[in-house]
Structure 1
Amino acid sequence: MLSLLFSTFPVKRPLPVFNIFSLYHFAPCGYAGSSRFSSFAAVSLPAWRSKLRSSMSVSRVASSSLSTLDSEIGLAKKLWNKCRRESTFAMYTPFTVCLASGNLKVDSFRHYISQDVYFLKAFAQAYELAEEYADDDDEKFSIAELRRGILKELKMHYSFVQEWGTDSTAEITPNPATVRYTDFLLATTSGKVEGQKAPGKLATPFEKTKVAAYTLGAMTPCMRLYAFLGKEFQKCVHPNEESHPYLKWIETYSSENFQASALQTEELLDKLSVSLTGEELDIIERLYHQAMKLEIEFFNAQPLVQPVNVPLIKDPNFTKDQLMLFSDFDLTCTVLDSSAILAEIAIVTAPKSDQPQSETPMGRMSSADLRKTWEILSNQYVEEHEQCMERIMASGKAEKFKYELLEKALEQLAEFEKRANDRVIESEVLKGLNIEDIKRAGERLILQDGCTTFFQKLIQSDSIDLKVHILSYCWCGNLIRSAFSSAGLDMLSIHANELVFSDSVSTGEILKIMESPINKVQAFHSILKECEDKRNVRVYVGDSVGDLLCLLEADIGIVIGNSSSLRKISSHFGVSFVPLFSGLVMKQKECREGSPSTWNSRTGILYTVSSWAEIHAFILGW
């Protein structure tokens, strides 16, 4: 567990103690006011927080509001960044995965093209109206140029129609999702924005420019999303894969010309929005977000008559299988590591140096001595951890993945972690913590963006047989339970170490249940053994070396974050990393009628994601 003190802490420099606890509105039990608390306000956290950060850093933080994003970034870029969750869901729809893989049925592609033709006609009409509203000649020219690009795109779609043998003269019947999108777009171009009064005559240049900005706000996300999808799909196409039936589509939207058109649209939105008020910018944000959701619905509405491996819970195999989801906690689910939180609770609630020994509860160290002890422990940990890693890496690099070889090597890490935890117990640095303080900190613990929503949606799903287990090195399972309980997730099974309490105050002892990668994988197997009567599809989500064995034992091991130590150890023992979306596309290429899913354990392949939104999109869908 001590390893978490030095692992991926998501800040660039040590935070003051006050800043840590202001995140939790923390007030220690049994302490009146904040005098003890404020005495630490100017004291930086121990230097160990940053010692391993450079080699094990992540950048996953909770999403920011529009007003807090970098002021130097243009409006369009800010809006796209805020909608990355939606762009992820659009990429992971069954239709887009099939399209990227190249095994999308021809009839489905024909239907999509017909719907897109209907939509693009409305898109061209919206550009035409926006051009009329623009007050500046340069703006009019830019909009006209973008409209010509859409007309060119329409010609490409007509060529698809001819190439795939569809009657180009047949009347297109739009599906409801297409109609919702086009109605939204054309309503916006007429100034009919939800929550706003219907416009009268657009008399002034400013009123017209405002509607032009609203129109671009509703159109820009489509351009940027297709540019994004084109580039992502291109990554999944082998350089020599000329047989991909939809290669022309991918090449069009990944081309420099289309990327330039998307950028031009964004720059125009930025320009049209310069003179708008904060309230009007909020309207554009709502329009942008609504357009992104309509894009997802548009893709999800495309009919498919073939097996698809996404979302996972809709796999036909789940009619008889049980989904077993396992996850690490610290820095997989959380923004702050739990060991740092427990250490700070200990320091903040410790007696002052000048307090008489007779008044010191349970013979606790003073806050100053406690801080020094933590620093000694952490320095020793860093030094010995580096030595342990060097010993593990000293063996020759594996030519191919062998699970048993890796497991044997990680036994060294297991012994090291146990010794480190023993030193924490012997030093009594976790002595005197009030259980209510710990629970309160857990309730206010910040989880990774999208993590809570995913688990909430997952447990609400009644379409599958589901079990969720959290496996953690955390010293205190109560902290984890409080964090999830505050989000209504009491049914998650927590497997972690436990602090020993006497009259609600910690004794400094730790009930050691899970200290190492070996302990984690043993718990993993024990849980599976209890469910032997059912076939289990096992998914494990983790971020560090401590999760490595479980990640490999799972049918689908998902790595979140970018721990360099995890990658170094994995690479040394023949483990490879594949972006989850690319892996899905490869699996989809193998997908055939009546064939089962081909996820297997111990393949030596782990799948990487950048956010919980990807995990959500893969397992649950939109």
Structure 2
Amino acid sequence: MVFFAFDFDETLTQNDTLDLIIKCTKEVDLNSLIWKRLSQRYCNLVTFSKAEYFKNHKNPSLEDYCEFCRVNEMDSIENIIESKCYDEITKDSLFNIGKTEVKFHNEVPEFLSKLIEEKIPVNIISANFSNDIIKGALSNIKNSEEINIYSNDLEFNENNISNGNIITNYIVASDKLKLFNNLSKDINNNETIYIGDGLTDILCMLNATVGIVFSPGKSFIQDCKEFNILLKPLSTWTEEDLKLEDEDENEERTKLLFFTLNWNDIISWWNNNKKVFL
């Protein structure tokens, strides 16, 4: 049996949803300013450290580079916790804002519903900081309770009010890959399709039977060039590409991902090829 795994923010959704957490705080205006400052600091740090990394490392592996990113991510999380901008948020407010304000790409809700109807396992593996926002967003989709959600989360007290801490489960690509591999072992035929958009998804996409990049950005494309990962349009995929999965174990596996800029392409690809996987 095949199973699907998806990133959440900017893969299923039209925009990043992390900003919505701030809207659930008691001091929205103040915390919005704090969040803006923290976001800019994070972006500056990532840009600088990435340049320094490639300047100081000759022929690094993709896995090493992804793990290197953990330092920046944890630094950012520690700054968020220290700022206390995630204090005193209720689980209900997060669920409700996910339900009312998260916007999926137009084709996503129906596509997920059809996968569920076809009894195909659907998993979301996200670096988002709120499991409840994801649940709230999915609650608008038919039979969404069948979707498995794996994410980071805020820490709550017995009254379901956040204490400002963040539970870190999936910070970098290797964290997602570990979960993805464990999920893969539970599927009889081990056919997997992973759809994501960023560096935290890249190892899962490369290890999936089919890895699909949704609307890759400039930074992601640069990373693929750096690590000799071939990006091909999803429209060029054929059943012959599955043979890459059956190469001799002693041969280096081709690093190949397929990309698309719209969800209609993904749906058309699946409708035309699902017989190969089912």
Q: TM-score, normalised by structure 1?
A: 0.40
The question of whether the paired residues in 1 share the 8 Å contact of 2:115 and 2:121 is answered with no
Map 1:330-409 → 2, pairs under 5 A = 330-346=9-25, 349-350=26-27, 367-394=28-55, 405-409=61-65
Counterpart CA distance in 1 for 2:49 and 2:237 is 33
Map 1:149-188 → 2, pairs under 5 A = none
Q: 1:536 to 1:599 in 2, by over 3 A?
A: farther
**Structure 1 residue 562 displacement after superposition:** 2.7
**SS of the counterpart of 2:128?**
coil
Q: Of residues 220, 226, 236 in structure 2, which corresponds to 1:566?
A: 220
Task: Give CA-to-partner distance per residue, 1:272-300, whole Å, 9 cap, x none.
Answer: xxxxxxxxxxxxxxxxxxxxxxxxxxxxx
Task: Give CA-to-partner distance per residue, 1:244-269, whole Å, 9 cap, x none.
Answer: xxxxxxxxxxxxxxxxxxxxxxxxxx
Counterpart residue type for residue 522 of structure 1: K
Gaps of 5+ in 1: 1-321, 351-366, 399-403, 592-596
The question of whether the paired residues in 1 share the 8 Å contact of 2:22 and 2:31 is answered with no
Map 1:51-62 → 2, pairs under 5 A = none
Q: 1:478 to 1:392 in 2, by over 3 A?
A: same
Q: Of residues 116, 130, 133 in structure 2, which corresponds to 1:459?
A: 116
The question of whether the paired residues in 2 share the 8 Å contact of 1:542 and 1:551 is answered with yes
Q: 1:528 to 1:506 in 2, by over 3 A?
A: same
1:418 paired residue number? 74
The question of whether the paired residues in 1 share the 8 Å contact of 2:184 and 2:192 is answered with no
Counterpart CA distance in 1 for 2:57 and 2:77 is 30
Task: Give CA-to-partner distance per residue, 1:292-328, whole Å, 9 cap, x none.
Answer: xxxxxxxxxxxxxxxxxxxxxxxxxxxxxx1021110
Q: 1:561 to 1:527 in 2, by over 3 A?
A: same
Q: Of residues 598, 603, 621 in structure 1, which corresponds to 2:243?
A: 598
1:617 paired residue number? 268
Counterpart residue type for residue 213 of structure 2: V
Q: Of the two, which has the highest radius of gyration?
A: 1
The question of whether the paired residues in 2 share the 8 Å contact of 1:418 and 1:516 is answered with no
Task: Give CA-to-partner distance per residue, 1:525-556, whole Å, 9 cap, x none.
Answer: 2222344xx22111100011111111111111
Map 1:578-593 → 2, pairs under 5 A = 578-584=232-238, 587=239, 590=240
Task: Give CA-to-partner distance per residue, 1:478-504, whole Å, 9 cap, x none.
Answer: 111121122121111101011122213
Map 1:188-267 → 2, pairs under 5 A = none
Q: 1:499 to 1:558 in 2, by over 3 A?
A: same
Q: Of residues 475, 478, 498 in structure 1, which corresponds to 2:153?
A: 498
**SS of the counterpart of 2:15?**
coil
Larger relative strand fraction: 2
Counterpart residue type for residue 53 of structure 2: I
**SS of the counterpart of 2:195?**
strand
Q: 1:386 to 1:541 in 2, by over 3 A?
A: same
**Structure 1 residue 507 displacement after superposition:** 1.3
**Structure 1 residue 599 displacement after superposition:** 5.3
Q: 1:495 to 1:512 in 2, by over 3 A?
A: same
1:468 paired residue number? 122
Q: 1:558 to 1:397 in 2, by over 3 A?
A: farther
Q: Of residues 175, 194, 217 in structure 2, which corresponds to 1:519?
A: 175
**SS of the counterpart of 1:415?**
helix
The question of whether the paired residues in 2 share the 8 Å contact of 1:388 and 1:412 is answered with no
**SS of the counterpart of 1:394?**
helix
**SS of the counterpart of 1:514?**
coil
1:607 paired residue number? 258
Counterpart CA distance in 2 for 1:562 and 1:517 is 16
**Structure 1 residue 345 displacement after superposition:** 2.8
Counterpart CA distance in 1 for 2:243 and 2:58 is 28
Counterpart residue type for residue 183 of structure 2: I
Counterpart residue type for residue 475 of structure 1: F
2:3 paired residue number? 324
The question of whether the paired residues in 1 share the 8 Å contact of 2:91 and 2:160 is answered with yes
Q: 1:325 to 1:599 in 2, by over 3 A?
A: farther
599-608 or 574-583, which deviates more:
599-608
Counterpart residue type for residue 451 of structure 1: V
Counterpart residue type for residue 583 of structure 1: W
Counterpart residue type for residue 436 of structure 1: D
**SS of the counterpart of 1:600?**
helix
Gaps of 5+ in 2: 247-252, 274-278
Q: Of residues 63, 85, 93 in structure 2, which corresponds to 1:429?
A: 85
How many residue pairs get aligned? The number is 264
Counterpart residue type for residue 75 of structure 2: R
Counterpart CA distance in 1 for 2:21 and 2:115 is 29
**Structure 1 residue 373 displacement after superposition:** 2.1
Counterpart CA distance in 2 for 1:379 and 1:611 is 29
Counterpart residue type for residue 600 of structure 1: E
**Structure 1 residue 565 displacement after superposition:** 0.7
Task: Give CA-to-partner distance per residue, 1:366-421, whole Å, 9 cap, x none.
Answer: x45423322331222111111222133326786xxxxx811011111122112211
Q: 1:368 to 1:460 in 2, by over 3 A?
A: closer
Task: Give CA-to-partner distance per residue, 1:568-596, whole Å, 9 cap, x none.
Answer: 01110100100011233xx4xx59xxxxx
The question of whether the paired residues in 2 share the 8 Å contact of 1:330 and 1:474 is answered with yes
**Structure 1 residue 619 displacement after superposition:** 1.6
Counterpart residue type for residue 24 of structure 2: I
Q: 1:541 to 1:395 in 2, by over 3 A?
A: farther
Counterpart residue type for residue 541 of structure 1: I
Counterpart CA distance in 2 for 1:583 and 1:549 is 19
The question of whether the paired residues in 2 share the 8 Å contact of 1:552 and 1:603 is answered with no
Q: 1:393 to 1:583 in 2, by over 3 A?
A: farther
1:67 paired residue number? none
